[in-house]
Amino acid sequence: MPDLTQLGKDIVKAAYLEGDFLLSSGQRSKYYLDKYRFSTHPTLLKPIAEGLAALLPTGLTVLAGVELGAVPLVTALSLETGLPFVIVRKGAKDYGTAKLLEGVLPENAKLALVEDVLTTAGQAIRAANILKDLGASIEKIVYVVDREQGADANIRSAGFEPAALFTKTSLGI
């Protein structure tokens, strides 16, 4: 398990930006955590994967990540745990196999959905419901940062279990 206090400081140093930002939730914010600034850097990605691995329940058969932001995270977590993963697309491709899901989802899959920075968790809940409709059991939704703007409560009210590695408060922002 990494030193979460130091990891949190390193994430803020690398990814915290101030300004006027439009979030994927549609909300505006005076700060932004640029997930690509921590998920593309190996000295941050590796300990993040270690931390997320500690949040996973036992008995999982597969991991899942939402395109595009969660792909580096779920890849690193797959390498950390040895579990295979699938990628949930935001929309079906209009060419090739035209799938919403990339990779192989085992029958009766028990999975954890991996996400990056959540505000309301709308995309995570959508992806979890897609996976559920495909027959998977979503054991937990794990994510790097909870902006504390409804994600946790929304995940719970949708019938899923949330687990954040960090919160806005724990990061001191």
pLDDT tens per residue across span 30-73: 999 999 999 999 999 999 999 999 999 999 999 999 999 999 99
Choices 3.40.470.10, 3.40.50.2020, 3.90.1150.10, 3.40.190.10: CATH for 4-171: 3.40.50.2020
Q: What is the pLDDT of residue 90?
A: 80
The phi-psi region of residue 166 (left if phi > 0; otherwise alpha if psi is between -120 and 50; otherwise beta) is beta
Q: With the C-alpha atoms ordered 53, 110, 62, 10, is the resulting torsion angle positive or negative?
A: negative
Pairing relationship of beta strands 28-33 and 16-22 according to DSSP bridges? antiparallel
Show the tokens assigned to 59. Answer: 């008995």
Q: Where are the domains of the chain?
A: 4-171
Total-model pTM: 0.94
114 and 65 Cβ atoms separated by less than 8 Å: yes
Pairing of strands 101-102, 162-167: unpaired
* Dihedral of the alpha carbons of 122, 126, 131, 133, in degrees to the nearest 10: 140
Residue 165 pLDDT: 98
